[in-house]
Amino acid sequence: MFKLENLNVKKIKDVAKKTVAIGAATVVFGGAGGLGVKEVQAGTAGEDKGKISSIENTKSKENVKRVDLEKKLLEQYQKKEKENLQEHASKIAEKIRQEQIEHYSSKEYLDRLVVEYGGNEKRAKEVQSERVANLKTVEIDTSLSYAEFADKIKSTKTNVDGTKNLFLLGVYDDKVRVPYDINERIMEAKILISKLNIINGIEITDQMRKILKDELGVSLENILRHEITHVATGKYGEMSNNAIEIFKKSYVPSGNGIDKYFMHPLELLERKKAMDREMERLGIKKYGEEFIPEKHYKQVIDAYEKGLFSEDAKDAKEFMLIIKKDPNLYKEIFNNIAKNESVESQNIQQA
């Protein structure tokens, strides 16, 4: 998870307070218009009452100045913090965009598309070009805080079953939008969940706490990567009918409303992509390398059961939960095996 090494809010506030304190002390004890210590000591007994009154008035004015200065400094630091966070988020987004463009432009990806489209190289190249163009042209907006995102975006979105998505942390519709301060908000949510027993009148059981913790096992980079990889297939993503059927028969239904989201082919595709990355990170299999059930399946299962998946590999962990534990299905999914026949495709709207 991204650490705000140079943007620590507590550190900023401490620096601001120290600066304010030094400034206030300078004004009170020696600055222009201030009352020097020697001047106070030089007064006679008969002048003490008038000077005390003068001192109190001066202190009152300086307290107002100190509060104004403190407020101004804090606003400046908060503005700088916001700009730094926005810039950091934008750099991460562009880094991911370039990584994805490189991946989707690769020969390995084209070879996989040729297999998926039943050997139709011409159509595979067209699809590859379309997906690369989508990545190059999409707008990525990281200018909103989470509060602004929740007010302008999250409040208007619902799940496929019509309910509100409590864990909506980013979206891709006409453009990719992820809050620049999402890491801080996730950290705050984790702390609250670990301490509170009741949220909005609902008792938080240990099981619910685990689910909530898993849902929040993400970071700014992880969320950006998920939404940006959605971009490749587009808002109405094209997938081969063969790939759709493989996903359909591989999905393990839970029996509740969330199935409408998780069994959506484009959402399953995103989790398959996450597994490709995780297997490569774990040294199990590189992208483009054939998935061999006798070799790779047990390695994947063992890595998952031993907790070796990265902390923010939420999509990959969800793949392990919602896809049937069948080595032959894994082989179909990761090798995109297609029959030697014409493979049709269709456009699918994002979930």
Residue 117 is predicted with a pLDDT of 81
**Strand 176-177 with 171-172, pairing:** antiparallel
Q: Which amino acid is at 145?
A: S
φ/ψ (deg, to 5) at 167? -110, 25
For the chain, the structural domain boundaries read 9-83, 239-351
Share of the chain above pLDDT 70, in %: 72
CA-to-CA separations, 79 to 2, 115, 144, 178, in angstroms, rounded:
20, 51, 13, 19
The reported pLDDT for the residue numbered 165 is 62
- Residue with the bigger pLDDT between 339 and 9: it is 9
State mean pLDDT over 185-213.
76
pLDDT of 112 = 84
- Tokens (6 digits) for 94: 């562009």
Indicate the pLDDT class of residue 54, thresholds 50, 70 and 90.
low
Per-residue pLDDT of 58-112, as tens digits, reads 767 777 777 777 788 788 878 888 999 999 999 999 999 999 999 999 999 999 8
Range of lowest pLDDT (8-17, 88-97, 175-184): 8-17
Best CA proximity match to 242, nearest among 114, 134, 350: 114
Least confident of 48-62, 172-186, 252-266: 48-62
pLDDT at 4: 31
Residue of 8, 3, 24 lying closest to 220 (CA atoms)? 3
* Integer CA distances (angstroms), 163 to 153, 281, 335, in order: 15, 36, 36
Q: Where are the beta strands (DSSP E) in 21-178?
A: 140-141, 171-172, 176-177
What number of other Cβ atoms are within 10 A of residue 115's Cβ?
16
Secondary structure of residue 53 in the 3-state scheme: helix
Closest CA to 168 of 255, 261, 253, 263: 261
Q: Could you report the per-residue pLDDT of 190-199, keeping only the tens digit for each?
A: 888 777 777 6
Q: How far apart are CA 343 and CA 349, in angstroms?
A: 20
Phi and psi based region of residue 238 (left: phi greater than 0; alpha: psi -120 to 50; beta: remaining)? beta
User: Are 29 and 36 in contact, with CB atoms under 8 Å apart?
Assistant: yes
